[in-house]
Structure 1
Amino acid sequence: MAGHSKWANIQHRKGKQDSMRSKMFSKLSKEITVAAKMGMPDPDMNPRLRLAVKAAKAQSMPKDVIDRAIKKSQMGDAADYTEIRYEGYGAGGIAIIVEALTDNLNRTASNVRSYFSKAGGNLGQTGSVSHSFDRMGEISYPASAGSADDVMMAALEAGADDVESDEEGHWIYCAVENLSEVSDALEKALGESTESKLVWRPQSRTEVDLDTAQKLMRLIDLLEEDDDVQAVTHNFDVPEDVAAQLG
């Protein structure tokens, strides 16, 4: 399995939090509304909504904003969103998966295609890169949750498949259908997690040079700035010396 990409998941995520907090809240609210509309508006009765609310809380979204997004799902004028996945290649042949929620498929497809083109990549067919990833549940904990050995033991007892740990934290992986059960078991053993979500986990990662990293970061920024795009996943990693040049 691929190692956890510390640079991609911490440095870039922090930058996103710092510069795009309002946009992030908007995307989280959309996911909450869609999840509540597709099932029960009660997180305890709706696993997808529970994950969406947990993700929102992990980003410090105010409770009243979360409640408002849930209530919006019950209104007759709530927009109908379609879930869609785009797959393509960025600079250097790096595989990229884009997940979106949109009320206009033509607009979103046109935008995503243009982002790939502008950043030296190309949009492929559905399935063109997803075979290089595994769809899994990911549960994250801070380093303070315990030692790597203790977290590994707790994770295995909870039914998880794999754990990656470093000085920043712990990432526990399990089958998609077991995410809720494993998450509940881990909360009893380790306390509340930082985040629980479904992810595309790359089967391997490719280190990139500075020029390629800059092009890829431009593509990711373009995608994440789009209101319809909910998540962007890739299989590249940035060596420490290149990351230092990126700032």
Structure 2
Amino acid sequence: MAGHSQFKNIMHRKGAQDKKRAKIFARHTREIMVAARSGLPDPEQNSALRNAIMSARVANMPKDNIDRAIKRVAGGEEVANYEDVRYEGYGPGGVAVIVEASTDNRNRTASEVRAAFSKLGGALAETGSVSFMFDRVGVITYPLETADADSMFEAAAEAGADNVETLEEQHDIICDPDDFATVRDALNERFGAPSELGLQWRPQNTVSLTEDQASTMLKLIDVLDESDDVQNVSANFEIDDEIMAKLTAG
């Protein structure tokens, strides 16, 4: 197994691991509010907000929850001032790790992230110390049954995407972050809402882990994911299918 999916990447999202709806919706509410503050609280004029809303809808977040989050910002209601922060470090086996968070208290979040790394054989590093080993890309995912591979590639190319990776259960459309909004809107118009979308850190190369290293690395991701502030965790490791089967047995 190469990371979280077939494409040799690991990206554990808040909500993908935690099945509690309240926590999933809390993450999306925070994303919507941060996006609304970054520009006008109008999705027609704010691409970041439009993307946050679409992600929330993919997670089946009720429309009332979405509208309420936007209105809180638009109405000037006193709410926590969340900001996006990024931490970089190394996990077991020298795995490069990027942690993306949204927080109203940098000291609290930094302390939680640092403690997770220290507890599980890792260490935080300076910003920029590992991100150069990743490519920042936009990824828009559609179920395999949406279209055949040729049709999806043609549509993605017309929309301005760089590539399409057709996997066992899905099509991943890859694009430059600057083109993300254009590609997203074009595909949405043609195929409807995607099953997942967003910006990702994709590793240029991966590190193979032993069973012990893999076990500890997965625990590190789980601990990081328990933090309400952590949004995404990306890392450049690869786990052999046999090792993954042992770790997930039972």
TM over 0.5: yes
Q: Name 1:53's counterpart in structure 2.
A: 53
Distance 2:7 2:175 in 1: 22
Q: Superposed, which structure 2 residues align to 1:142-153 within 5 Å? A: 142-153=143-154
Q: Name 2:72's counterpart in structure 1.
A: 72
Q: Name 1:34's counterpart in structure 2.
A: 34
Aligned-residue offset at 1:22: 2.2
| Structure 1 residues 26 and 122, CA gap change in structure 2 (3 angstroms) | same
Aligned partner of residue 16 in structure 2, secondary structure? helix
- Whether the 8 Å CA contact 1:3–1:204 is kept in 2: the answer is no
Distance 2:160 2:230 in 1: 31
- Whether the 8 Å CA contact 2:10–2:236 is kept in 1: the answer is no
Distance 2:244 2:232 in 1: 22
Distance 1:159 1:188 in 2: 14
Distance 2:4 2:191 in 1: 20
Q: What is the root-mean-square deviation in Å for CA atoms of aligned residues?
A: 2.4
Q: Name 1:209's counterpart in structure 2.
A: 210
Aligned-residue offset at 1:50: 0.8
| Structure 1 residues 9 and 16, CA gap change in structure 2 (3 angstroms) | farther
Distance 1:16 1:106 in 2: 26
Distance 2:108 2:181 in 1: 34
Q: Superposed, which structure 2 residues align to 1:1-247 within 5 Å? A: 5-6=5-6, 16-17=16-17, 19-74=19-74, 75-247=76-248
- Whether the 8 Å CA contact 2:12–2:234 is kept in 1: the answer is no
Distance 1:130 1:139 in 2: 21
Aligned partner of residue 44 in structure 2, secondary structure? helix
Unaligned runs of 5+ in 1: none
Aligned-residue offset at 1:5: 2.7
User: How many residues matched?
Assistant: 246
Aligned partner of residue 101 in structure 1, secondary structure? strand
Aligned-residue offset at 1:18: 5.4
Higher relative contact order (CA 8 A, sep 6+): 2
Distance 1:7 1:130 in 2: 18
Aligned-residue offset at 1:198: 1.3
Question: Which residue identity lines up with residue 58 of structure 1 in the other structure?
Answer: V
| Structure 1 residues 222 and 129, CA gap change in structure 2 (3 angstroms) | same
- Whether the 8 Å CA contact 2:135–2:204 is kept in 1: the answer is yes
Aligned-residue offset at 1:80: 1.2
Aligned partner of residue 45 in structure 1, secondary structure? coil
Distance 1:159 1:232 in 2: 27
- Whether the 8 Å CA contact 1:208–1:238 is kept in 2: the answer is yes
> Mean Cα displacement is larger for which, 164-173 or 207-216?
207-216
- Whether the 8 Å CA contact 2:205–2:236 is kept in 1: the answer is yes
Identify, as 1 or 2, the structure richer in helix.
Answer: 1
| Structure 1 residues 3 and 167, CA gap change in structure 2 (3 angstroms) | same
Aligned partner of residue 51 in structure 1, secondary structure? helix
Distance 2:108 2:41 in 1: 29
TM-score (norm 2): 0.90
Distance 1:70 1:230 in 2: 19
| Structure 1 residues 14 and 72, CA gap change in structure 2 (3 angstroms) | closer
Aligned partner of residue 16 in structure 1, secondary structure? coil
TM-score (norm 1): 0.91
